[in-house]
Amino acid sequence: MLAVDTKPKTYKDKVNQSIAFSGLTVDFFTQKKVKELSKYVKGKTILNVGCGVGLLDKHLAPLAKRWVGIDIDRESIKEASKNEGEYLWYDGVKIPAGKFDVILCINVLHHVESHLQQNLFREMAGHLDGVLICLEHNPWNPITRFIFKHSEIDKGCVMLSAARVRSFMDFFDLKAKTIFHAFGTQTITFGRKNDK
């Protein structure tokens, strides 16, 4: 009998394996995010913090005036740089770029160790000239909790509630509000500079 390697090979494969029971794919959720975020990106300067392999970048970067993606994983940056825009390695401490109209932080915060989250918000607030958009898994949704618990990508991570994300934004004087997205499996928290 021929052995078949069923171990996921790519980021997309890993996500698709985690959500296979739903009958949906990562592309479905990517398109939902693109639809929601495109109105904030069009014609703006964008920093995508934790851009990963660039799943969103492929769709959103062409809409932006300037697009910069950063990530701590050099292999992810290499993959993301196949998209339009500029891609930089991020050391996890100091964001290597200027000021931006919009900063995206999409499904990243739960991968950041809790003692480093405040510094990440400090860095993002320091590079923000408009709106910070943080999209995170909704820890109160039972479907999200099930997927998160069984996800290879999220192993060892801790989900952040929208209230926790808002508290970081409040600490750095960003006026924050939260909405639910993608069947309530995600929360989007917007933080705006008070002078904007």
Q: Cα angle at 97 between 95 and 99, to 5 degrees?
A: 110
Full-model pTM: 0.90
Handedness of CA 144, 149, 152, 158 (dihedral sign): positive
pLDDT in tens, the chain (196 residues): 334 444 447 889 999 999 998 899 999 989 999 999 999 999 999 999 999 999 999 999 999 999 999 999 999 999 999 999 999 999 999 999 899 999 999 999 999 999 999 999 999 999 999 999 999 998 998 988 999 998 988 999 999 999 999 999 999 999 888 887 666 778 888 888 765 4
Residue 33 CA: distances (Å) to CA of 9, 26, 46, 119, 156:
23, 11, 15, 26, 24
CATH of 33-193, one of 3.40.140.10, 3.30.9.100, 3.40.50.1470, 3.40.50.150: 3.40.50.150
Query: Domain-by-domain residue ranges, the chain?
Result: 33-193
